[in-house]
Amino acid sequence: MFKNLTPRQIAIYSSIVITTIYLLCLLLLTIFGYVPPALEIITSMVVVLIATYFVNLFFLKKYIFRRIKLIYKTIHRLKLDPTQKQRNVESDDQIMDEVEEDVAEWAQTQQYEIDQLKSLENYRREYLGNVSHELKTPIFNIQGYVHTLIDGGLHDHTINEKYLNRTAKNVDRLITIVDDLETISKLESGQLVLELDAFEIKELAAEVFEMHELKASKRGISLVFKEGANQSYMVNADREYVRQVLDNLVVNSINYGSPNGTTKVAFYDMDKNILVEVADNGRGIEEEHLKHVFDRFYRIDKGRSREAGGSGLGLAIVKHIIEAHNQTINVRSSPGLGSTFGFTLEKA
């Protein structure tokens, strides 16, 4: 009853209250023997009721609702979509009907934006810390090897070549991290320009197999296509970026798969899309880690990951590339049995 009252309603209710108090005062006077005529009581009550109504209404509009209207207009202007037309907010009744809802909505929006800014700030601090940590490791390694060589190791044939090779390996890792940082920066800033073209996805996967055949053979891992993948699958995508996706997933399957195991690539016709899966029979990923595998710099086995030379950004880049194609990527895994990464591409 008393929710979202208009200025006139407030003025009426307050006038009734004041007039009632006035009547009670007149009744108190009868205790002291003063009994005014009935006509005088009625007339004075009507005068008090009308006078207080207009006085209350004047002060409400002048000192309260004028300021409420100004605040409302400011909030409304700040939250108004540029494509919308400015609503008429001149009516006091309209303002009181809408102001609570709009202010609550505005406050909720502001709180959401504050939460987003806090989240971004936390992400920025974490991201910078991760970048610093990832760069620090190869830099310190290079520093140690170089100082050892300068201090006389350069002329010691038992260690000079070994330390130079280790230095070169850490330099390569630095280059990989910097290249991946540049790539993910472009992806997250929306600077990725896709050159969509129709191509045979199995043919591209075979090229990736050829690139990593030597690496796989060193661990005794076989790179094969799953049964049923012998037919042609044409997709519409950016060939080089999809190559990067397959390259990353196949290399991961080699690095983290079981020695003498198998990496299988499979294709499935999903009506308008083609599902591509890269599976290994390695140790698998625990459930607690599955939701983080596409996070930047997230490493399940930190020591082994760095030893493999990864930047920690590979799967994050893969996810961005697939999402830039308006497609999806997922992972399923069973500890001790292996992992399967699957992503979709538009059928050509």
- Helix (H, G, I), strand (E, B), or coil: what is residue 68? helix
- Of the candidates 263, 298, 283, the one whose C-alpha atom is nearest the C-alpha of residue 334 is 283
Tokens of 36: 């005014």
Q: CB under 8 Å to 140, separation ≥6 — which residues?
A: none
- Of the candidates 256, 270, 259, the one whose C-alpha atom is nearest the C-alpha of residue 343 is 270
In this prediction, residue 82 carries a pLDDT of 47
Identify whether the C-beta of residue 210 lies closer than 8 Å to the C-beta of residue 174: no
Q: What is the pLDDT of residues 150-203, one digit of tens each?
A: 888 788 888 888 888 888 988 888 887 787 777 777 777 776 788 899 999 999
Answer whether residue 120 shows pLDDT above 80: no
Identify whether the C-beta of residue 181 lies closer than 8 Å to the C-beta of residue 131: yes
Tell me 236's DSSP state: E
| Average pLDDT of the residues of the chain | 79
Answer whether residue 346 shows pLDDT above 80: yes
Per-residue pLDDT band at 347 (split at 50, 70, 90): very high
Q: Please give the average per-residue pLDDT across 270-299, as a whole number.
A: 83
* Dihedral sign for Cα atoms in the order 227, 231, 237, 239: positive
CA–CA separation, 104 and 117 (whole Å): 20
The length of the chain is 348
Identify whether the C-beta of residue 127 lies closer than 8 Å to the C-beta of residue 296: yes
In this prediction, residue 137 carries a pLDDT of 80
Tokens of 60: 């409400």
In this prediction, residue 265 carries a pLDDT of 92
Domains in the chain, please, with CATH?
Answer: 7-90 (no CATH), 122-188 (1.10.287.130), 196-346 (3.30.565.10)
Q: Please give the average per-residue pLDDT across 103-112, as a whole number.
A: 74
CA–CA separation, 50 and 177 (whole Å): 80
Q: Please give the average per-residue pLDDT across 237-261, as a whole number.
A: 90
Top-ranked range on mean pLDDT: pick from 132-136, 199-203, 330-334: 199-203
Q: What is the pLDDT of residues 51-73, one digit of tens each?
A: 888 887 777 776 666 666 666 66
Assessment of whether the complete model's pTM goes beyond 0.85: no
CA–CA separation, 115 and 201 (whole Å): 42
In this prediction, residue 5 carries a pLDDT of 66
End-to-end CA, the chain: 63
- Helix (H, G, I), strand (E, B), or coil: what is residue 258? coil
Q: What is the pLDDT of residues 92-107, one digit of tens each?
A: 555 555 666 666 776 7
